[in-house]
Amino acid sequence: MDIPYSRMHIVLPFADPIFGNATRAKSAKKVRIVYAGRLHPEKGIYTVLEMMHKDIMHRNGRRVSIVMAGQHVEIGRTIAHMLKDYPYADLIPAQKTVAGMAKLLGRTDILLMPSVYAEPFGMLSVEAQHAGCRVVASNIDGLPETNCGLLTLVEPRNPQALVKGIEQAIALGPATKKERDEAKDVFMLDESVDALLDALHI
């Protein structure tokens, strides 16, 4: 475009404050792991399913809950039908509201974002970290930029790497209050608005 980088203004998105204010549920005996992306190959759902068949997942008693989102398109409905009797994961209804998603993340320990194709950013990763979740995500495209301090990056399309990332996140333990407070200080509404006004020279 023949525009010098110095003239390009970058305005980062922000997480809805409701995620930072979400109440954390008490710790459970088993680590609560959730896949909340759309039921689409690009979001890495097949990587999750392949991971669930690894022996280490069964030996450690790991279970993943899958949010049944994305059924407004044919591929989503097809995958949802395939998962109807799937024995290795718990199925959760799609969350229809921001408040509903915040509540879900408030009772989640680890969020999985194993995308296999370009993610321009990955807002769900930021929202989860603001809610106090650790996030295990693919080291691809915009996802590394979402690091609020609770992010573990893994090789995409690699079920074994995803398992290892989960184990690393578990070893770190639940996010402390300090870690969550620091996470909430990134991608804030006021910072995003200030950057936008500066870019518009207002």
pLDDT tens-digit series, residues 132-157: 999 999 999 899 999 999 999 999 99
pLDDT, position 197: 81
Q: Is residue 5 part of a domain?
A: no
- CB neighbourhood size of 158 (10 A): 17
Q: Looking at residue 117, what DSSP letter applies?
A: S
- The whole domain housing 148 covers 15-187
> Please, are residues 74 and 99 in contact by the beta-carbon 8 Å criterion?
no
- State the CATH number of the domain containing residue 28: 3.40.50.2000
User: How crowded is the C-beta side of 189, counted as CA atoms within 13 Å?
Assistant: 5
Among 11, 3, 14, smallest CA distance to 184 is for: 14
Better-scored residue on pLDDT, 191 or 123: 123
Please give the share of the chain, as a percent, with pLDDT higher than 90.
71
**For residue 95, pLDDT beyond 90:** yes
Q: What is the pTM of this model?
A: 0.90
Q: Is residue 27 part of a domain?
A: yes
What is the total count of domains within the chain? 1
pLDDT, position 71: 96
Q: Is residue 137 part of a domain?
A: yes
pLDDT in tens, 22-39: 999 998 889 999 999 999
Better-scored residue on pLDDT, 172 or 9: 172
> Please, are residues 63 and 89 in contact by the beta-carbon 8 Å criterion?
yes
Q: Is residue 6 part of a domain?
A: no
Q: Is residue 57 part of a domain?
A: yes
**For residue 202, pLDDT beyond 70:** no
Q: Is residue 198 part of a domain?
A: no
Phi, psi dihedral angles at 10 (to 5 degrees) = -110, 120
Among 31, 16, 22, 43, smallest CA distance to 110 is for: 31
Q: Is residue 46 part of a domain?
A: yes
pLDDT, position 76: 96
pLDDT, position 174: 95
Q: Is residue 35 part of a domain?
A: yes
d(CA 142, CA 13): 12
What's the whole-number mean pLDDT along residues 164-184? 96
Q: How far is CA 5 from CA 9, 142, 195, in A?
A: 8, 18, 16
